[in-house]
Amino acid sequence: MKSTRRMRAGKAALFCAVASAVGLLFCSQCSPLYPINVWGDANCLLTVGRVMREGGVLYRDIYEQKGPTLYLLHALAACISDRSFLGVYLLEIVAWGAALFSAWRIAERKDSEPVIPTLPFVALMAACVLTGAAFSRGDSAEEFCLPLFVWTMDIALAEYGRAQGPMRPSRLMACGLMAGLVATIKYTLLGLYIGLCVCEGVAAWKEGGLARAVKHAGAFLCGMLMPVLAWAVYFAAQGALGDAVQAYLIHNIFLYGAGEEMTWREALRLLRDNALWAVPAAAGLAAFCLYRDKTPAAKLCVLAMAGGQMITVFLLGRVWPYSPMAMTPFAVLAVPAARRAAGAVIRLGRGNRRQTAPRRTALGPVRGAASAGICLLAAAVAWQMTPNAFLRGQKLDDLAQGRLAGYIEEGATLLQYNHLDDGLYLTSGALPQQKYFVRLNVALDEMDQELDRYVREGIPDYVLVTWNELPQEFDRYERIAEDAGYDDSNRINKMFYLYRRKSE
């Protein structure tokens, strides 16, 4: 029995890996079908990863405001490929494959022989998420938190489905470990874990009073502190602990998107742009709460996690187009709902005809045809409906980033002066030599002053500016090229201006 389960799980893991590779190949601008990822955030992440690979210390030697684990992943990606997003694409496959495998486990729990297999629905759900606007161009912090979220849901639902009482401390510690990893990627995504802790705290208190609640809180915190303390020790050893606290905590809290609230119009636009997965996710959540085979504790846990995530994502700070990606783990709940609905339709179509063979044998042809059809539909959705299709198949030499790279000789230094990283660091092979290598969305006076100083003193060999030309006061540089590239709306109307330092 155990070997059969392992074989079934192995086949499911292989299917999830293939589904992830194909879906991301079609939809992510990090995949080999795309010449480059034109998103500024993705280029910033990879540029920082390239600097870390060469021995640079995050926050001390190069400034960015996201979490260290996210940049460590991109340092690993840079080890695979220093001049493309291939390494990121491979890491995306691992992340998505792990998330889909946990989604399969959640969907199959207490239903080992569904009329329609679960895996095709998992692939279709993934295609719907990948083609939503929240996926953006691929390579976001939310994307790499996805497997951690789904793993946590898998553990929590298994525990609360096992008994009405609280979770076992070992399982709770595992959830805490994943919360710690999320905290070191992007701590504003911890809402799901806040909801879980509230639910678990109530369950533990009800079971054993304050002592039990404190014990379970300690188990969760022990797991959560593992990655946090590991990074603290690393930064302390590098003499950069103060820089890390300033950049990742203080600047994000006080200098990033403060006081910006989402309007109802923006919320409706986000729903429209992600309706392909958001509507099924809401329906799946509602259906989950109505299932008779789910315990009240499991239902309350899911609602608490969804509510906590929604509050931290949409009500506490600025909401970007990719922000809803943090809610995509709940699209997993649409899988069992869709599978059960499809099974009901098939049973209804077969009527009350007497079956002379076991269910799996009797429905074999129907199961096979339905599974193949759903997989083909998932591939078609991923290929046709991704908003990134405009860039798929183009050559790097046809893009501004590729053409401008030809002006920069090997070993020359470069500075992106007035915008997020537009990809020229990557295509030219240049590595930032200064701490502030782009102008981030952080109201930090030191960053603005230092960027001005770099250009005023003529420190970098080349300077790239976008949208507007370099101010005339920086007369130590001459413009040598200009080009037009894609903006955030996929239109070629974003001007690139490349400047070279004048000969002394």
Query: Which residue did the predictor score with more confidence, 356 or 243?
Result: 243
Long-range contact pairs involving 240-243 (C-beta distance under 8 Å, separation at least 24): 240/57, 240/58, 240/59, 240/60, 243/59, 243/60
Report the amino acid identity of residue 396: L
pLDDT of residue 260: 59
Average pLDDT over residues 157-167: 87
pLDDT of residue 342: 74
pLDDT band at 350 (very low <50, low <70, confident <90, very high): low
Residue (of 89, 101, 95) closest to 69 by Cα position = 95
pLDDT at 9 over 50: yes
pLDDT at 361 over 90: no
pLDDT at 196 over 70: yes
Long-range contact pairs involving 281-286 (C-beta distance under 8 Å, separation at least 24): 281/327, 281/328, 281/330, 281/331, 281/333, 281/334, 283/334, 283/337, 284/330, 284/331, 284/332, 284/333, 284/334, 284/335, 284/336, 284/337, 284/338, 285/330, 285/333
CB-count burial class (<10 Å; 0-12, 13-18, 19+) for 4: exposed
Model confidence, pTM:
0.94
Q: Please give the share of the chain, as a percent, with pLDDT higher than 90.
A: 81
Question: In angstroms, how far is the first alpha carbon of the chain from the final one?
Answer: 78
91-120 pLDDT, tens digit per residue, is 999 999 999 999 999 988 765 456 678 899
Residue (of 381, 313, 304) closest to 142 by Cα position = 313
Locate all alpha helices (DSSP H) within 315-416, ordered by sequence: 334-350, 359-362, 364-385, 400-405
Query: Which has the minimum average pLDDT: 153-162, 180-189, 219-228, 492-501?
Result: 153-162
- Tokens matching residue 62: 């190069």
pLDDT band at 349 (very low <50, low <70, confident <90, very high): low
pLDDT of residue 200: 94
Residue (of 101, 238, 222, 229) closest to 171 by Cα position = 222
Q: Please give the share of the chain, as a percent, with pLDDT higher than 70.
A: 93
CA distances to 74, 150, 193, 382, 424 from 226, rounded to whole Å, are: 21, 20, 16, 37, 37
Query: Which has the minimum average pLDDT: 242-251, 341-350, 491-500?
Result: 341-350
Q: Rounded to whole angstroms, how far apart are CA atoms 36 and 402?
A: 9
CB-count burial class (<10 Å; 0-12, 13-18, 19+) for 474: middle
Average pLDDT over residues 173-189: 97
pLDDT band at 356 (very low <50, low <70, confident <90, very high): very low
3-state secondary structure of 271: helix
Tell me which H or E stretch contains 501: strand 492-501
Q: Rounded to whole angstroms, how far apart are CA atoms 3 and 382?
A: 34
- Sheet of strand 414-416, all strands in order from the earlier edge strand to the far edge: 414-416, 462-466, 492-501, 477-486
Contact indicator for 331, 284 with CB cutoff of 8 Å: yes
Query: Which residue did the predictor score with more confidence, 163 or 196?
Result: 196
Tell me which H or E stretch contains 305: helix 296-314
Locate all alpha helices (DSSP H) within 36-140, ordered by sequence: 40-53, 68-80, 86-108, 118-130
240-272 pLDDT, tens digit per residue, is 999 999 999 999 999 886 555 677 788 889 999
Contact indicator for 404, 483 with CB cutoff of 8 Å: yes
pLDDT at 284 over 50: yes
pLDDT at 381 over 50: yes
